[in-house]
Chains A and B, each alone.
Chain A
Amino acid sequence: MSTTLQTFDTAALREDFPILKEKVHGKDLVFLDSAASAQKPRVVIDAMVHVMEAQYANVHRGLHYMSEKTSDAYEAVRDKVAAFINAGSRDEIVFTRNATESINLVAYTWGRSALKPGDVVAVTEMEHHANLVPWQMLRDAHGTELRIIKITDAGEIDWNSLEEVFADGRVKLLAVTQMSNVLGTYTPVERLAKFAHAHGAKILIDGCQAVVHRQIDVRAMDADFFVFSGHKLYGPTGIGALYAKAEILADMPPFLGGGDMIASVSYAKSSWAKPPHRFEAGTPAIIETIGLGAAIDYVSAIGLPAIAAHEQALTEHALAVLPNIEGLRILGTAQDRGGVISFVMKDAHAHDIATLLDRQGIAVRAGHHCAEPLMGRLGVTSTARASFALYTTLEEIDALAKGLERVRKIFA
């Protein structure tokens, strides 16, 4: 065990997550599916209950005490998100439902106004459908082109392919994940941003997975757009964020129309509020936003460097232990990778693996992980995936290995 793991008190942190005491099929819950959505600490649950019990009203509308108080709490989360990812200004943070909506917002508004037919959007082979389908929709509706940057067998971006895709100078946006939700690969986002900018393109970074495991600094990486979802960051569902540089947001037309996003409205014409409110039509997810604020406070108090070190030790342990299981193959061997591990087993289909592990109380994900083209690239139809969080223990990884050994015996 590394010294980091000794100083990182996982047992104490696990106490913060009520669900981890639950039993599944009579067994202790071993939750290894946090990459799909993470469990919630008590402080997040309490913060949301507290809003509803003690300070709830609609935001930005009432002139009464409760509305002002709720608006303050809601807007304070914008400051928290801005600080958390080191944005230059709170006005660069737009609240959305999730990363998917953030990307759709960019595709719909920036894509249709800043891009011209014939301009190219480039994505990689390891994008989640959320960072692929909106660009296909933009292509079909607006006449942009969509190009795919290849990955290597190790599961890293193929730099030759990247250069080829950019060679004719028509790429105007590079939309890329910072961490693959299938392979666990981290992409070199700072280098990619430099590359994109040097070629006259903007960069959108899908930080859905990375934001949970690494300290994010959107200014250091020079991201034009950065998106994430609250629910993977120990926060509630229904709240996500879009960061975009102020000068980009300023020129973007609205996404949805309605209340809160306007400056003035008449039958003849309406004018739009300034960012970020221009992009937040209607009553927002007030309770969930406040829950996200609590999640950010929680994660920040533990510290992302400590979380990252803990998870790195878990990942190294898993990468050492799992390959000992006969017939098990881990997909991807990227140099820089985190605690998301996809694997297949000889003779056992991913769904059978997941079902049999579930009977032992172990939750893993099985399927295509919303990355069907990547499955094709890897030559599989589905994989099983174990993913780690700040509450994951080495013992749980050993339990997974033991469980997989039993699966292997059943299919042997």
Chain B
Amino acid sequence: MSELYERIVLERVKRPRHAGRPAQFDARGQGANRLCGDKVSIYVTRAGMQLHHESEGCAIMVASADLMVDATTGKTAADIHALAQAFAEVVTTGTENPALGELNALAGVFEFPSRIGCATLPWRALEEALQNV
């Protein structure tokens, strides 16, 4: 069975660390996958770039959102943009990037071309949120 589901991914799905809508936030970005009904909202709180996600969907998307928040909290918009690109590279090629730390847990998604969009959906929502800040 795929190691993708056995690594960190499921841990994050069962016990997400950053799930939920914060009481106050400065911007929100949303992503939806029309095909499978996945939905994600990313909330940005400007002070120190605090992020939260509200996700409803498959394990890959939910885990990706939770790991993304870890990787991006406190970063600048420019850093985040670079991370998003590096992450997209990892999930489309399957080649891990040492600079990405735990995000590499999703590298295995490249084996499932139809699921790459699930992994990148929270990142697209985050980019949208940053434009709204």
Name A residues whose Cβ lies closer than 8 Å to a Cβ of B.
347-352, 355-356, 358-360, 366-368, 375, 381-382, 406, 410-411
Contacts and interface: CB of A to CB of B under 8 A. Distances in A.
Contact of A410 (B6, B38, B115): B6
Contact of B2 (A349, A351, A359, A368): A359
Given A350-B36, A356-B5, A367-B36, 9 more contacts: A351-B36, A355-B2, A355-B115, A359-B1, A366-B36, A381-B36, A381-B37, A410-B6, A410-B10
Contacts of B38: 349, 351, 381
Given A359-B1, A382-B37, A352 B6 contact: no
Interface in B11-28: 13-14
A356 B36 contact: no
B60 A368 contact: no
A351 B118 contact: yes
A351 B5 contact: no
B1 A410 contact: yes
Contacts of A359: 1-2
B12 to A, nearest CB: 13
Contacts of B58: 349-352
Given A352-B5, A352-B58, A352-B60, A411 B10 contact: yes
A349 B57 CA distance: 7
A382 B112 CA distance: 19
Contacts of A366: 36
Contacts of A406: 1
B35 interface: yes
Interface residues of B, number: 19
12 contacts: A349-B36, A350-B58, A352-B58, A355-B2, A355-B112, A367-B35, A368-B36, A368-B37, A375-B37, A381-B37, A410-B10, A411-B10
Contacts of B118: 351
A367 B114 CA distance: 12
A290 to B, nearest CB: 33
B49 interface: no
Contacts of A411: 10, 13, 59
Contacts of B115: 351, 355
A356 B2 contact: yes
A411 B5 CA distance: 9
Contacts of B60: 351-352, 355
A375 B35 CA distance: 12
Contacts of B13: 411
A352 B63 CA distance: 12
Q: Which 10 A-B pairs have the closest CB atoms?
A: A381-B37, A349-B58, A351-B58, A352-B59, A352-B58, A351-B36, A382-B37, A359-B2, A382-B36, A410-B5
Q: Which of B1, B35, B56, B118 has the most CB of A within 10 A?
A: B1
Q: Which of A348, A351, A381 has the most CB of B within 10 A?
A: A351
Contacts of A349: 36, 38, 57-59
Contacts of A352: 5, 58-60
A80 to B, nearest CB: 36
A366 B36 CA distance: 8
B94 to A, nearest CB: 15
A406 B1 CA distance: 9
B10 to A, nearest CB: 7
B91 to A, nearest CB: 14
A337 B112 CA distance: 33
A229 B61 CA distance: 35
A266 B110 CA distance: 58
Nearest to B112: A355
A134 B2 CA distance: 41
Contacts of B35: 367-368
Contacts of A358: 112
Interface in B21-70: 35-38, 56-60
A406 B2 CA distance: 11
A352 B112 CA distance: 11
B116 to A, nearest CB: 12
Nearest to A359: B2
Contacts of B37: 367-368, 375, 381-382
Contacts of B10: 410-411
A352 B2 CA distance: 11
B25 to A, nearest CB: 25
Q: Which of A348, A355, A358, A410 has the most CB of B within 10 A?
A: A355
A352 B58 CA distance: 6
Contacts of A350: 36, 58
A347 B10 CA distance: 11
Contact of B1 (A351, A356, A368, A382): A356
